[in-house]
Amino acid sequence: MQASINKALSSQANSQPSTPFAEGLLLPQVATATLELIINKALALNNNKAISFAALNQKTLTLALAELSFKLSFSVDTGSSPAMVMVRSQVDTSDCTIKTSIKTLKKLKANQSLTQLIKQDELDVNGDIKIAQQFANIAQSLAIDWQSELAKHLGDVPTHKLLQFGNKITKSISATGKQIEADICEYLVHEKRLVVTRSQVSAFNGQTTAIAHEVTAISARIDKLFAKLAAK
Amino acid sequence: MSSSDQNPQASDLPSSQKTAADADTSADNSVDSKSTTHFGYKTIEKDDKISMVAGVFHSVAKQYDVMNDLMSFGIHRLWKRFTIDASGVRPGNKVLDLAGGTGDLTAKFSQLVGREGKVVLADINSSMLNVGRDKLRDKGLVQNIEYVQANAEYLPFEENTFDIVTIAFGLRNVTDKDKALRSIYSVLKPGGRLLVLEFSKPEHELLNKAYDFYSFNILPKMGELVAKDGESYKYLAESIRMHPDQETLKSMMDNAGFEQTSFKNLTGGVVALHKGYKF
């Protein structure tokens, strides 16, 4: 840790009139400000009162994602009411630092083992893993009633109608998508004969296996005959 | 002020005012002689500057935040966020937000230092301090913030008190910048750092010209429309031009005793963040 601080200090010792592109455009600050706004808005809308930040007060979780040129550090301040999550792009010290990629985070979400990912060098954890787990638990426990939030702005009846309409549209899009998929399959399989059906592939595989067995049997018989001839 | 003062060319100015770099080569980098200093493009008696600057900020205090958002298109929030990121602030730190005005940096620092830490919002101007105090109290930020009316040249704190001192868009209004830097150095703990966020010199000539046009033609009109005070915003544009450029301010920090001084240009050098350590 001390080495990294010294390195950071010495790298800052020289003036840098030509600032890196992303930094000059303040992209890390745009990203952290947006994230901070979204997270705190979500916390303000949360209906699950069981969520507690007490254990995370003044703790920092840092995410170093391979896809980003800067880190994302999440700190909690329980002094504010409600508790606030602050997002920064640089921190000197962190209670838990996770080096990974967005791809790996998706794997984690799909319940792939944490240990397995660490063994595969897809994930590197430094510090107290409990901090990361507590942050993840809070994110998973958020309960936001979007319908009542929308109703506050639009009114009950328009919100109900809007959601009904939304559901209809979603179902209709889903049905249309399935129909288009079926039509394309039919065109490719039966009209153009560019691809074969699953049953045809399976029949072909069955026949191939049968032939392979027959060839093996014949080969064995030939070997026997050769052996007999050699004995005479 | 005459109309020719609104957008003077370098040749229109007294030789000592042509550029900030030209003007700031003396031991006291903000003065032409021992008894005079700049107020925008005007040369005034040193003793008058505090009251003249105070007049500007008393006038704009209530509209300060709105004008900041309008003038910078909201980018000042990102510059301040960059400053927080670069400060390396930790829970338990003591922070002095000098010339803290309406308390944007104080609000963030207060949340980051936690209950064990402390943030002092200091400003020479009582109107700005009052606006800042009201704003922070409205946000529920009361537990670890103190308010002090103070002149940056004579900071009323013991030596080695603060882990971090920030001065955002305030140093150019200070009469004797060298004295202020020495005073800041004194109140910093060993290992502490100073961050100076201030308007500076754009890196590219084209941007410089566009920035000049905006500052001298559009900005005072916006000030007139929104804050009903075009003169104060004309002073703002002039004071930015008279402020030391990046390298000059860096050497001023070196001269005050700061070590490992560095700066980062933001938005093409329109603003620069200077950082220096006390060891």
User: Of A33, A81, A91, which has the smallest distance from its Cβ to B78's Cβ?
Assistant: A33
Residues of A in contact with B140 (CB under 8 A): 80-81
User: What pLDDT score does A121 carry?
Assistant: 79
pLDDT digits (tens, 9 = 90+) for A176-230: 999 999 999 888 888 888 888 888 899 999 999 999 999 999 999 999 999 999 9
pLDDT digits (tens, 9 = 90+) for A111-168: 667 777 787 778 888 888 888 888 888 887 777 777 887 888 888 888 888 888 999 9
Ordered alpha helix ranges (H), chain B: 20-23, 46-60, 64-72, 75-87, 104-113, 126-138, 177-187, 205-213, 219-226, 230-242, 246-256
In angstroms, the separation between the Cα of residue B4 and the nearest Cα of chain A is 33
Whether B169 and chain A come into contact, CB under 8 Å, resolves to no
Which residues of chain B, if any, have pLDDT below 70?
1-34, 39-42, 44, 48-49, 51-63, 227
Q: In CATH, what number does A2-144 get?
A: 3.30.1050.10
User: What pLDDT score does A112 carry?
Assistant: 63
pLDDT digits (tens, 9 = 90+) for A62-90: 989 888 888 999 988 877 767 888 999 88
Whether B64 and chain A come into contact, CB under 8 Å, resolves to no
Q: Residue B133 has which token pair?
A: 């105090």
- Among chain A residues, CA nearest to B247: A15
Cβ B227 vs Cβ B59: under 8 Å: yes
Q: In CATH, what number does B12-277 get?
A: 3.40.50.150
Residue A232 has pLDDT above 50, yes or no: yes
User: What pLDDT score does A20 carry?
Assistant: 55
Delimiting residues of CATH 3.30.1050.10 domain(s) in chain A: 2-144
- The model carries a pTM of 0.70
User: Of B90, B141, B262, which has the smallest distance from its Cβ to A15's Cβ?
Assistant: B262
The domains of chain B are located at: 12-277
Residue A5 has pLDDT above 50, yes or no: no
Whether B69 and chain A come into contact, CB under 8 Å, resolves to no
Residues of A in contact with B78 (CB under 8 A): 26, 29-30, 33
In angstroms, what is the C-alpha Rg of chain A? 30
Cβ B186 vs Cβ B98: under 8 Å: no
User: Of B81, B144, B275, which has the smallest distance from its Cβ to A29's Cβ?
Assistant: B81
User: What pLDDT score does B9 carry?
Assistant: 34
Residue A2 has pLDDT above 50, yes or no: no
Residue A18 has pLDDT above 60, yes or no: no
User: Of B114, B203, B275, which has the smallest distance from its Cβ to A77's Cβ?
Assistant: B114
Taken in order B96, B100, B102, B107, the sign of the CA dihedral is: negative
Dihedrals phi, psi of A167, to nearest 5 degrees: -65, -40
Mutation for testing the A interface, residue in B136, B248, B260, B264 having most A CBs under 10 Å = B264
